[in-house]
């Protein structure tokens, strides 16, 4: 699916929401907070995102969700990255999607470990009570 998505010129907000795993209202909110995120609008007034917009959304998502920046901190970090022409601003959509997926897998595995630890504790308590 990713390969097909990269070949298109424009994406609707629903498609960007699905690609990035973000709710549409989050994307609209980020437009108000990050001046660089300004998708064009078609004649009907609907947002149309380009690949560069989607890359930028993934970058914002990484700064806010993975690196735990505040919105103001993310704005400052983006300004700094732009001044330095940091290569992370040039990350491909596939690389950003991969990083996002890895973070999601890491979080899921951590939750599974917590569940297993709880089950282990329950089993230890059950053995101690029956013996």
Q: Which two tokens stand for residue 103?
A: 């973070």
In the chain, what are the domains? 2-130 (1.10.1660.10)
Cα–Cα distance measured from residue 56 to residue 121, given in angstroms and rounded to the nearest whole number: 44
The secondary element (H helix, E strand) that includes residue 74 is helix 71-84
pLDDT at 53: 92
pLDDT at 86: 55
Comparing C-alpha atoms, which of 31, 20, 12 is closest to residue 100? Answer: 20
Q: Is the pTM of this model over 0.85?
A: no
Q: What is the pLDDT of residues 76-127, one digit of tens each?
A: 998 888 777 655 555 555 566 666 666 667 777 888 888 888 888 777 776 6
pLDDT at 5: 44
Q: What is the mean pLDDT of the chain?
A: 81
């Amino acid at each position: 699916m990713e390969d097909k998505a990269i070949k298109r010129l424009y994406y609707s907000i629903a498609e960007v929401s699905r690609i990035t795993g973000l709710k549409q209202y989050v994307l609209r909110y980020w437009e108000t907070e990050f001046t660089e995120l300004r998708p064009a609008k078609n004649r009907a007034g609907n947002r149309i995102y380009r690949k560069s917009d989607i890359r930028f959304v993934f970058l914002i998502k990484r700064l806010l969700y993975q690196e735990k920046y505040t919105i103001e901190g993310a704005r400052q970090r983006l300004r700094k990255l732009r001044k330095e022409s940091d290569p992370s601003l040039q990350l491909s959509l596939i690389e950003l999607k991969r990083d996002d997926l890895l973070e999601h897998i890491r979080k899921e595995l951590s939750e599974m470990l917590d569940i297993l630890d709880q089950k282990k504790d329950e089993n230890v308590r059950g053995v101690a009570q029956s013996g």
